[in-house]
Chains A and B, each alone.
Chain A
């Protein structure tokens, strides 16, 4: 290798390095803009988990809540939705949930809520949930891996978690991601 080719090579290395870093940053930023990459998104490895052990009461004295066994024994996949009456995105999610509740078994868990507030919230415009339980301490939610409300989990018969979403559901995500998984196991 002559001195001049070596010099050219040494010049090219940092340029190529900077170009590579630039291309990487551009790809990251453009996919953040397009919405396909979110560095703050919480993605749990849902496919490797089972429903944790829990028993939760219902909202009011007369109503029954549900527990792990009820989810395991359900003959159909259940979409479990954590919500709270104090959570604004949950209010916005309710209309979607009412539509989704027609297509899949939808169970709700009220997170860190007062029973009467949760009751009023659920029944105000017609409840989307087939069953509702109350997690007043929020400790069951932590066992599920919930970091905020609303959050949803698809539980297959037998108690395996097949899907998790840490954001408000919308019809498109439901059709594209949840329904195919639920149909597979029906």
Chain B
């Protein structure tokens, strides 16, 4: 095996390790319809596992997370919309179960912070540039004597080709 082949194999092996591992303990948890399963995974990725709180229920292997995955799949299979399932969850577990909180008075600052930061940065940059431009000394206009001297020099030497 040459070096290039070996490198390629190592890369593939490392990629395999780095792939996100889903916590589905049991393949039988999955829905048979791949479209529905994909939807269930997307919904589950937005729901907080209340046991290991910074993981979604799709990532967590806690018992409660497995039960909640089952609940999500039951609702998806029953043909409910994403919105309906989210409402079902927040009605029971509160806003806390959503990893991406909705816009409300309490989360307003969180949501508008990127805009605020960008505006503040642009404003600071604008003010600084304007100040720098003002601070650069403008050359004073030539006096009449200087104008005459300049004209004389230009005539003596001729225009610079």
Do A40 and B94 have beta carbons less than 8 Å apart?
no
Q: Return chain A residues, CB-CB under 8 Å to B91.
A: 49
Interface positions, chain B 58-100, Cβ under 8 Å from A, are: 63-64, 67-68, 71, 91-94, 96
Do B94 and A147 have beta carbons less than 8 Å apart?
no
Residue of chain A at shortest CB distance from B93: A145
Chain B interface residue count, CB cutoff 8 Å, equals: 14
Chain A interface residue count, CB cutoff 8 Å, equals: 17
Do B67 and A139 have beta carbons less than 8 Å apart?
yes
Do B94 and A45 have beta carbons less than 8 Å apart?
yes
Do A142 and B53 have beta carbons less than 8 Å apart?
no
Interface positions, chain A 66-118, Cβ under 8 Å from B, are: 112
Bound Cα distance A45, B94 (Å): 6
Other-chain contact of B93, A10, A44, A137 (Cβ < 8 Å): A44
Which of A42, A139, A145, A147 neighbours the largest number of chain B CB atoms within 10 Å of its CB?
A: A147
B-side residues, CB < 8 A to A, are 50-51, 53, 63-64, 67-68, 71, 91-94, 96, 127
A-side residues, CB < 8 A to B, are 10, 40, 42-45, 49, 112, 137-139, 142-145, 147-148
